[in-house]
Amino acid sequence: MYIDTHCHLSLEDYDDIDLVIKENRENGIDKIIISGCTRDTICETLELIDKYSDVYATIGYHPSEVDITTNEDLILLEKQIQNKKVVGIGEIGLDYHYGSDNKNKQIELFRKQLELAEKYKLPVVIHSRDATQDTINTLKEYKVIGDIHCFSGSLETAKIYISMGYKLGIGGVVTFKNSNLYKVVEAIGLENIILETDAPYLTPEPFRGKKNYSKYIPYIAKKISEIVNLSEEKVAEITTKNAMGLFDLK
Ligand code: NI
């Protein structure tokens, strides 16, 4: 049994969501957590968690939305997170990949959502790209825990996040030939890892370059099992337990 702790499921990318969910079940993906991180996908995600019993959500405004996210959006977000199947806030964070001119605005949006997480004791799903130090400094201001989505940093950075109570979200990148992520996974072991696809992006080998699906989680688990030298069943068992604990899933 697996949990895909982070994917994006939208009609924009998938014509037949019923089929996606059916194939997840056939491939041992017991639960998925969809990340709604724009105004439209938050609404879409809330509809999906109503419709499917094994689908949960994290919602929150992605740093790429910083220029169009209003105070009204954040007031509505506070209401939307009251839904019992919303199990966290995210993906939220900082992204300086295309420039850091608006970094103060990004940090402000990040802080407002961290305040909500602290207030409602919800875990956060963190998007951090080319912004490690500011992400760590900002997170340290709040009593929150969560998941560093699509972790791709150094072992040193991994250890800092883990010491702050965060899990590392590991996905398709670990299967890429040019990735050094295996060194981090090997060194930290399974206790602080949760599995994610980030579908429709970051498709694992052998499907790299094509559209991603939650049903590919076993390919990520297989690679991790080789790295840590444990069975795929053990990888499934421990990462599922980690995810259930972090997101308080029953
Ligand atoms: Ni994502």
Residue 218 banded pLDDT, cuts 50, 70, 90 = very high
Mean pLDDT score, 46-67: 98
The alpha carbon of 10 and the centre of ligand 1 are apart by a number of angstroms equal to 12
Average pLDDT over residues 3-24: 97
Ion ligand 1: protein residues whose beta carbon lies under 5 Å: 198
Taking the centre of ligand 1 as the mean of its atom positions, its distance from the CA of residue 8, in whole angstroms, is 6
Task: Tell how far the Cα of 188 is from the centroid of ligand 1, in angstroms.
Answer: 23
Interval between CA 200 and ligand 1 midpoint (Å): 9
Q: Binning pLDDT at 50, 70 and 90, where does residue 211 land? A: very high
pLDDT at 70: 98
The answer to whether the beta carbons of residues 78 and 105 sit under 8 Å apart is: no
- Give the distance (Å) from ligand 1 centre to CA of residue 201: 8
DSSP-based three-state secondary structure for 133? helix
Q: How do residues 148-157 score in pLDDT, each as one tens digit? A: 999 999 999 9
Distance, CA 40 to ligand 1 centroid (Å)?
15
Tell me the C-alpha distance between 148 and 169, whole Å. 6
How far does the centroid of ligand 1 lie from the alpha carbon of residue 226, in Å? 25
Q: What is the mean pLDDT of residues 53-63?
A: 98
CB atoms within 10 A of CB 211: 12
For 39-48, what is the mean pLDDT?
A: 98
Q: Which segments within the chain are labelled E, that is strand? A: 2-7, 29-36, 55-59, 86-95, 124-129, 146-148, 166-170, 193-195
Q: Tell me how many degrees the CA angle 45-48-51 measures, rounded to the nearest 5.
A: 155
Q: What's the CA-to-centroid distance between 199 and ligand 1, angstroms?
A: 7
**149 CA to centre of ligand 1 in angstroms:** 7
* pLDDT of residue 250 exceeding 90: no
Distance CA(71)–CA(52), nearest Å, equals 30
Calculate mean pLDDT across residues 101-129: 98
- This prediction has a pTM of 0.97
Separation of alpha carbons 13 and 6, rounded Å: 15
Mean pLDDT over residues 159-185, rounded? 97
- What is the band of 63 on the pLDDT scale with cuts at 50, 70, 90? very high
Residue 233 has pLDDT above 90, yes or no: yes
What CA–CA distance (Å, rounded) separates 64 from 38?
A: 9
Task: Please check the confidence at residue 95 and state whether its pLDDT lies above 90.
Answer: yes
Beta carbons within 10 angstroms of residue 200's beta carbon: 17
Domains of the chain: 2-247 (3.20.20.140)
Quote the ligand 1 centre to 7 CA distance (angstroms): 6
CA of 79 to the centre of ligand 1 (A): 22
Mean pLDDT of 199-224: 98
